[in-house]
Structures are given as structure tokens and as C-alpha cells.
Amino acid sequence: MKIIYFLNIDKYYMNHLNKKSWELYTIISLFFLTISVITRKYLFNLKCNFNDVLFFYLLFLILFYSIFLIYLYKKEKDNLFKDKKNGKTIMVVTFIASLSVAIAIIIKTKAYEITPNMSYVDVLMEPTKIILLYLFSIFVFGTVFKPVVLIGIMLTLTGILIVLKNQ
């Protein structure tokens, strides 16, 4: 009976995690971001110079993004820049988003260098980011406030305090 139950759960998740599933993309992204953190912290534990690590990290990001940009342009060139109405807005907002990510990469890499445990950086950052995104979604995008989510946020804050007080 337990095997049948397991197979039904597995079938549910396999159907749910199709190519339009944000959860699937999140899990795949999580895998690659985790590798990125572990490899940078590994270099810092080897006492590699922060500026050297940051330089090559950014260099390879530029290389990979350039390759992807060329691929995207060749694949989608007939569909790019057709939104004349929102073109300026897209440029300004994506500039702000890209600048924010560039600054965050540098600062977060420094945090990984100086923390004794690489998980502490994300223990503080990710739940705090979730809280800020949730509040922003409510106040700016009009998402419906749910009290149970507020309880989850309070539990998250409690977890952050426990980790930070005992590091």
C-alpha cells in the first residue's frame, strides 16, 4: 500500500513539475547557485585573494552572459525590440535590476569570504529577502495578505535570530 501511495505522489509531482513549473526552474537554479557558493567559499578557504576570485568570477560571468546574449539574439532577433510602447521602461528598469545584481554579487562574495560558515550568509539573506518581497508584493502589486503567511514570516525571523545568536 505504501508503494502505491509513493507512486501516486511521484506521479503527481512529475505531472506538476512540467516545463511551465516555476518550482522546477527554482530547484534547477538552486542547484547551480549552490555550486557557485560552494566553489567560491572553497577558494576563500584556500586563502585565495578576494580580488582574484572576484575578477575571474565576474570575467566568466561576462563570458557566459555574452555567449547567451549572442544565442538569444540569433534565436529571437525577429521578436526582439517589437514592444515600442514599453521600450524605454524596459531599458530603465532592467538597467536598475542589472546594476542591483552586479553590486549584490560583489558584496555577497565578500560576505562569503569573511563568514566562518557559508550558510550564514543565506540564512540571513534569503528569509529577509522573502519577507521584503512578500511585503512589496502586498503594498505595490496588490497581492492578497494572508495571516498564515505572517505566521510563517514570524517563524522565519525566529529561526534567523536563533542561528545568528549561536554562530
- The predicted-structure confidence for 116-166, as pLDDT tens digits, reads as follows 999 889 888 988 888 888 889 999 999 998 989 888 888 888 888 888 788
Residue 18: pLDDT band (50, 70, 90) is low
CA–CA separation, 147 and 88 (whole Å)? 38
pTM of the model: 0.75
Residue 82: pLDDT band (50, 70, 90) is confident
Percent of the chain with pLDDT over 90: 53
Collapse the DSSP code of 77 into the 3-class scheme (helix H, G, I; strand E, B; otherwise coil) and give the result. Answer: coil
